[in-house]
Structure 1
Amino acid sequence: MKRLTTLLATATLTGLLSTTAMAASLNGTQWQSVDDKTKEKKAVIKMTESNGVVTGTIIKLNDASQAKEVCSKCEGSLKNKPIVGLPILTKLKADGSNSWSGGDLVDPESGKVYGGTVKLSEDGKTLKLTGNVKGMPFLKRSQTWTRVK
């Protein structure tokens, strides 16, 4: 019985490790965000990964005149925080090969928070974000970002 338990534990751990290994790392990458409606370049977002959780933070706005703006429409802890330095992707966890979900995507212009997914293209050059209004998965919004670094 002890041998069976050890075998099952090893198989489970191997399965968990292989799922984690299959996901590419976004840690340290930088992405140019593009408005899904106007196609205008908006900001550069730096991704960090810690303990399997991905966060994306605005590090630069393309329109330098907006560099000192705050997120006046955001709620909670993000209310009136500077846009540069704002974490707009939070709590994303790998859910397979080159894909992360389960977190929040914040639109700093509207202050709205979306649930959603992030998918890295096979060539690693683009990142597709698909957000949906929480509680209404049929109301979706997507953006494709290009890799800067």
Structure 2
Amino acid sequence: MFKKILFSLCTFGLMNVAFANDIAGTWQQIDDKTGAAKAIISIHKESNNTYTGKIIKITPRPGYTPQKNCNKCPAPYTNQPILGMEIVKGLKQINNTNNYEKGRIIDPLSGKVYDAKVRLNSTGKRISIRASIGVSVLGRNQTWIRLD
């Protein structure tokens, strides 16, 4: 009986480590300028081992009418509905660490496309996104909170 309990605890522990080392899931996007919740993003792993994120819900905020389409965005995003838009593409995990690089992220409100780096915290409950154009020093940071 003791061996079964020990095995179960070890298996559960390994599952938590694997979960904490993967960004696939549902995330609440927090605006880097206002600190308000912006949208809910679903991130999943593609067959080529990169990660893609799509807006699945726009979070209502008092006094704010959400923009429906990506008006200032470059092709292929031009005039696409923001709800359902893939805003994160191509993120690759770096050597089984909590770091992901070589991705692209678009801000559908400004139309700017950024290079993206992501760091998953040790608990697996938050990601820090560094979005930059060219030099990483000239960029923006966002924190997303895991919902699932």
> What TM-score do the two structures reach when normalised by structure 1?
0.78
| Map of 2:81 onto structure 1 | 82
User: 1:59 & 1:130 partners in 2: Cα distance?
Assistant: 21
User: 1:145 & 1:130 partners in 2: Cα distance?
Assistant: 11
User: 2:112 & 2:76 partners in 1: Cα distance?
Assistant: 13
Q: Does 1:101 align with 2:101?
A: yes
| Map of 2:117 onto structure 1 | 117
Between the two proteins, the alignment pairs up a number of residues equal to 125
User: 2:23 & 2:129 partners in 1: Cα distance?
Assistant: 14
| Map of 1:9 onto structure 2 | none
Q: In the alignment, which of 19, 23, 26 is matched to residue 23 of structure 2?
A: 26
User: 2:118 & 2:136 partners in 1: Cα distance?
Assistant: 15
| Map of 2:141 onto structure 1 | 142
Letter in 2 for 1:78: Y
More helix as a share of residues? 1
Matched residue of 2:76: which SS?
Answer: helix
Which contiguous aligned blocks of 4+ residues in structure 1 show a shift greater than 4 angstroms? none
Where does 1:50-65 land on structure 2 (aligned, <5 Å)? 50=46, 51-63=48-60
User: 1:107 & 1:147 partners in 2: Cα distance?
Assistant: 20
User: 2:85 & 2:126 partners in 1: Cα distance?
Assistant: 21
| Map of 1:13 onto structure 2 | none
User: 2:136 & 2:108 partners in 1: Cα distance?
Assistant: 20
User: 2:34 & 2:23 partners in 1: Cα distance?
Assistant: 26
The Cα RMSD (Å) is 1.8
Letter in 2 for 1:89: V
User: 1:123 & 1:137 partners in 2: Cα distance?
Assistant: 25
| Map of 1:71 onto structure 2 | 70
Letter in 2 for 1:84: L
Deviation at 1:26, TM superposition (A): 2.5
- What runs of 5+ residues in structure 1 fail to find an aligned partner? 1-20
